[in-house]
Chain A
Amino acid sequence: MPRLKRLQRAGFILGAALLCTASVHAGIVSSPPTVQVVDDRGNRIDEVLDLCFQVELRNDCQRLKPRGRVHPPGSFFGLRIEGENHGPVYVRREALQKQSDGSFRIEVPRKAWLRIAGEDLQLLTISLYLPENPTFREPAFRVQMKSEKGEIKVPAGEFIASLSLALNAPDLHRLRAAPASRVELTYHRRKGWSLVARIRSATSFRPVSRTQVEIMDTVGYGEQDRPVATAVSGADGLVLLSGLLPVMASLTARHPEFISSELRGLTATPGTFAFRTMDLGTGGRIAARITIHGRPLARATCYVYSPLADARDREPLRQLWEGFTDSQGLCRSARLAQGFYKLRVRILESTAQVNRWVSVLEAQDTQEDVALAPTRIYGVVRRGAKAARGYSVEAILLDSGRPPRMARADTSAESVSDDEGRYEFTVWTPGRYGLMVRSPSKTPAASQRDLTTDGDDERQVDFDLNGTAFEGRVVDEDGQPVEAAHVGLRWEGVRVAHTDAEGRFEFPVEGEGTAMLHAMKSGYRESESVDVQVKREEPIPFVTLVLRRKATIEGKVLSAAGNPVPNAWVGSIEASLERGPFLYSATRSTTDGGFEVEIPLGPPRVFVSGPGCPLSWFDLPTTAQPDSSGDSGAPVVVRCPALPSALELNLVDSTGKPLPHAGVIIRRNGTIVPGSVLATHLQLLGLPAETDGTGHLVLAGLAPGEYELYLNTRSSESAIAIGHRQGYLSEVSLPALQTTELQLTLPPE
Chain B
Amino acid sequence: MNKRFAVLFTICLAVAFIGLSPSAASAQCLCSGRCYLDIYGNAYCGFGIFSNHECLEFIDYCAEFACSEPGCLKTQEPESAAARDLFPTFQTQQCRIIRSAFLPDGGKEVLVVHLKART
A: residues with CB less than 8 A from B are 57-59, 125, 127, 136-137, 162, 164, 170, 196, 268-269, 271-275, 309-314, 316, 394, 396, 398-399, 402-409, 432, 434, 436, 444, 448, 486, 488, 490, 492-496, 516, 518, 520-522, 526, 578-579, 582-583, 650, 675-676, 711, 713-716, 718-719, 724-730, 732, 739-749
Contacts and interface: CB of A to CB of B under 8 A. Distances in A.
Contact of B23 (A269, A725, A744, A747): A725
B40 A312 contact: no
Nearest to B63: A579
Contacts of A486: 54, 57-58, 61
Nearest to B96: A713
A655 to B, nearest CB: 12
Contact of B89 (A57, A271, A274, A409): A409
B52 interface: yes
A400 to B, nearest CB: 9
B61 A405 contact: no
A713 B25 contact: no
B115 A741 contact: yes
A718 B25 CA distance: 10
Contact of B21 (A269, A494, A522, A725): A725
Given A57-B1, A57-B5, A719-B25, A496 B104 contact: no
Contacts of B1: 57-58
B43 interface: yes
7 contacts: A162-B119, A273-B119, A398-B88, A493-B41, A578-B30, A650-B115, A726-B104
B18 A719 contact: no
Given A398-B89, A727-B20, A488 B2 contact: no
Interface residues of B, number: 64
A718 B61 CA distance: 19
A488 B43 contact: yes
**Those 7 A-B pairs whose CB atoms lie nearest each other, nearest first:** A493-B42, A747-B108, A745-B111, A741-B115, A405-B48, A714-B101, A272-B117
Given A488-B58, A742-B115, A747 B110 contact: yes
Contact of A745 (B51, B104, B110): B110
A59 B4 CA distance: 10
B65 A747 contact: no
Interface in B81-119: 88-91, 93-94, 96, 99, 101-102, 104-105, 108-119
A432 B43 contact: no
A34 to B, nearest CB: 24
A726 B110 contact: no
B18 A496 contact: no
B93 A493 contact: no
Given A405-B94, A718-B28, 13 more contacts: A127-B119, A311-B49, A398-B39, A434-B39, A496-B41, A518-B65, A579-B63, A713-B99, A715-B101, A726-B104, A732-B114, A747-B105, A747-B110
A732 B56 CA distance: 34
A57 B10 CA distance: 13
By secondary structure, the B interface counts as: loop
Given A434-B89, A495-B40, A744-B112, A58 B49 contact: no
B60 A520 contact: yes
B56 A312 contact: yes
Nearest to B79: A402
B53 A314 contact: yes
A742 B113 contact: yes
Interface in B19-51: 20-21, 23, 25, 28-33, 37-43, 47-51
A180 to B, nearest CB: 28
A57 B9 contact: yes
A726 B60 contact: no
A268 to B, nearest CB: 7
A310 B20 contact: no
Contact of B18 (A394, A408, A730, A741): A730
Contacts of A741: 114-115, 117
Contacts of A309: 49
A727 B61 CA distance: 28
Contact of B110 (A268, A496, A713, A730): A730
A62 to B, nearest CB: 14
| Interface hub of B30, B37, B39, B69 (most chain A Cβ within 10 A) | B39
Contacts of A57: 1-2, 5, 9
B72 interface: no
A475 to B, nearest CB: 18
Contacts of A493: 38, 40-43, 69
Nearest to B42: A493
A726 B101 CA distance: 9
